Amino acid sequence: MPEKRWAPRFFTIWVGQRISWLGSRAGGFALVWWLTQETGSAQVLATATLGLILPTVLLGPVAGAYVDRWNRRLILLISDTGIALVSLLLAYLFWSGHMEVWHVYIVIVVRAIGSAFHLPAIGASTTMLVPAKHLTRIAGLNQSMGGALQVAGPVLGAFLISVMPVHSVMLIDVGTAAFALIPLLFLSIPNPPVDASKERESIFASIRIAFRFVLDHRGLLHIMLLASFMNFVINPVFVLLPLLVTTHFGGTALHLGWLQSATGAGLIAGGFVLSVWGGFRRRTMTMYVGGGLQGLALLFLGVTPSGLFPVAVATMIANGFLNALYNGPIAALLQATVPPNMQGRIFTLLGSIVQSVYPISLAILGPVVGVIGIRAWYIGGGILVFAVCTLALFMPSIARLETQLVESADKSAA
């Protein structure tokens, strides 16, 4: 369990990880820009995106099972080191002039595999480092930092790529990884107690137990399914933004940048409010109030007249703000109520299910928008998201979930 003086150790690790992520965002921007300049192909960018998503979807449950068995500090060290070495290889390929598009595909997949282990390990480690009463505030802080990285990462990447070659940007990515690795060499992360009999079960048996846990807690299953629906509707919103800017608002790349930065600014503000406020006593209420209002923000963006672009910017700020209120409590809910020795599997199961709809939504996006129009996706999607989140607020399985999970944890402890 977390120590009374938990903050120094947690925030030393946390700050190092965020500095490393900033370098990775800048490096990722440089890679995307290189692909764009080298090929000018939407198909290449789509393939790269799938290379980033599919390993997480396919490997997620297996990675989570190992996170629940292995030393989480060691997993973070190995995954951070592996990702840094891949960036170092990229730097060499760019420097030597041997870089090819297919190299980027391989590197993206390898980095995604590392992230499949890293993300559940860092999420499950937070539970062991932070007292339960502060988890929602830490989740809010994470949302703020995610928004800050969304704003700062591309800006930093664009600046670096304008003043130095790509291989130098990748070396900076390697250098920032040191900030994540060094604290892990000196600071421990407690591991949850593991039943000796469970160590002998197969990985697939461990995964089946995670599935059974979700099925036994129907509210958790309903949250996963609703989150998948939210992802299905909302992810295309960001894919369609460039077309909304050009065809409806008659804007340029600068206008697109304003909308993307507005979303990041909203995430920062929403995460900050959540970190100070802590949300409603029932975390699921914070989630679905925020999600429902986010649906209204998308609806409002869809009906914004072409001559009122500043209103669109304000709407995207609201979208980011409310997204933080929706996403932050999910992590805090799982960290506070799911048994620590199952969190790796539950986190990755949730991630795999939610992200699995992304390729499907991308596949149908073009044909559907061709029939109904771009703005109709925002309007119809916003209405659907609002309706689903309102329904979730009144679902007994979701309303009772936190109490049910706590009671289950108490029985297991007894």
Residue 283 falls within a domain, yes or no? yes
Residue 360 falls within a domain, yes or no? yes
> Does residue 231 sit in the same domain as residue 376?
yes
Number of domains in the chain: 2
Q: How far apart are the first and last CA of the chain?
A: 16
The arithmetic mean of pLDDT across residues 192-203, rounded, is 61
> Does residue 39 sit in the same domain as residue 176?
yes
Residue 198 falls within a domain, yes or no? no
> Does residue 94 sit in the same domain as residue 12?
yes
Res. 279 pLDDT band, cuts 50 70 90: confident
Res 253: pLDDT: 59
Res 355: pLDDT: 77
Full 3-state SS string of the chain: CCCCCCHHHHHHHHHHHHHHHHHHHHHHHHHHHHHHHHHCCHHHHHHHHHHHHHHHHHHHHHHHHHHHHCCHHHHHHHHHHHHHHHHHHHHHHHHHCCCCHHHHHHHHHHHHHHHHHHHHHHHHHHHHHCCHHHHHHHHHHHHHHHHHHHHHHHHHHHHHHHHCCHHHHHHHHHHHHHHHHHHHHHCCCCCCCCCCCHHHCCHHHHHHHHHHHHHHCHHHHHHHHHHHHHHHHHHHHHHHHHHHHHHHCCCCHHHHHHHHHHHHHHHHHHHHHHHHHCCCCCHHHHHHHHHHHHHHHHHHHHHCCCCCHHHHHHHHHHHHHHHHHHHHHHHHHHHHHCCHHHHHHHHHHHHHHHHCHHHHHHHHHHHHHHHHCHHHHHHHHHHHHHHHHHHHHCCHHHHCHHHHHHHHHHHHHC
> Does residue 394 sit in the same domain as residue 272?
yes
Domain boundary among 188, 203, 229: 188
Q: What is the Cα gyration radius of the chain?
A: 21
On the question of pLDDT at 1 being above 60, the answer is no
**90 with 107: CB under 8 angstroms?**
yes
Res 409: pLDDT: 57
> Does residue 183 sit in the same domain as residue 258?
no
> Does residue 98 sit in the same domain as residue 228?
no
> Does residue 263 sit in the same domain as residue 178?
no
On the question of pLDDT at 2 being above 70, the answer is no
Residue 205 falls within a domain, yes or no? no
Res 105: pLDDT: 84
> Does residue 110 sit in the same domain as residue 250?
no
Res 408: pLDDT: 63
Q: Which domain holds residue 245?
A: 212-414
40/118: higher pLDDT = 118
The arithmetic mean of pLDDT across residues 377-395, rounded, is 91
Domain CATH number, residue 293: 1.20.1250.20
Res. 391 pLDDT band, cuts 50 70 90: very high
Mean pLDDT of all residues belonging to the chain: 81
On the question of pLDDT at 40 being above 70, the answer is no
Our measurement of the distance from residue 181's CA atom to the centroid of its chain's CA atoms, rounded to an integer in Å, reads 21
Residue 199 falls within a domain, yes or no? no
Tell me how far apart the alpha carbons of residues 86 and 201 are, in angstroms, rounded to a whole number.
33
The pLDDT tens digits for 15-28 are: 888 888 888 878 87
The pLDDT tens digits for 165-188 are: 888 888 888 888 889 889 888 888
Max avg pLDDT among 111-115, 252-256, 379-383: 379-383
Q: Would the pTM of this model clear 0.85, i.e. be above it?
A: no
On the question of pLDDT at 297 being above 90, the answer is yes
Residue 203 falls within a domain, yes or no? no
The arithmetic mean of pLDDT across residues 59-85, rounded, is 83
> Does residue 19 sit in the same domain as residue 153?
yes
Residue 207 falls within a domain, yes or no? no
> Does residue 280 sit in the same domain as residue 363?
yes
Res. 7 pLDDT band, cuts 50 70 90: confident
183/146: higher pLDDT = 183
> Does residue 128 sit in the same domain as residue 249?
no
Question: CB neighbours (10 Å) of residue 344?
Answer: 32
Backbone angles phi, psi at 249, to 5 degrees: -90, -10
Tell me how far apart the alpha carbons of residues 305 and 243 are, in angstroms, rounded to a whole number.
15
